[in-house]
Amino acid sequence: MGMYTYIIMAVVVVGFIYYTSRSNKKAQAERQNKLSLTQPGDKVVTIGGLHGVIHSLDNENAIVTIDCDGVLLDFDLAALKTVDHVAEAVEVVSVNESPIAE
């Protein structure tokens, strides 16, 4: 009876380790994807709590320059905690073909 208990505990531990490593890999891949999509104009927060906008990006050296109220600061790309991608503004022009008579 005691041997089965150890086998069940071992299976549970191995399952738990597999589950946590899998979820960590997913989170890491999602973060890497988000960082690879960064571009100038995106709003960011660093791991130190600094809020700013990406001024320039050097993917070769993994360095990002952040504009914080006119002050340009260089950070490692891994120092970005959150990235808020700003979609390019698209101007919508509405043409009213039949004017409404008042």
Dig out the tokens for 83 from the structure: 């990235």
Please write the tens of the pLDDT for every residue from 37-70: 888 989 999 999 999 999 999 888 889 999 998 8
Q: Do 53 and 42 contact (CB within 8 A), yes or no?
A: yes
Please write the tens of the pLDDT for every residue from 61-92: 889 999 998 899 999 998 999 888 875 544 44
pTM of the model: 0.61
Residue 95 has pLDDT above 60, yes or no: no
Q: How far apart are CA 32 and CA 59, in angstroms?
A: 13
Q: How far apart are CA 11 and CA 37, in angstroms?
A: 39
Which fold would CATH assign to domain 39-94? SH3 type barrels. (2.30.30)
- Kindly list the domain boundaries of the chain, sorted by start residue: 1-36, 39-94
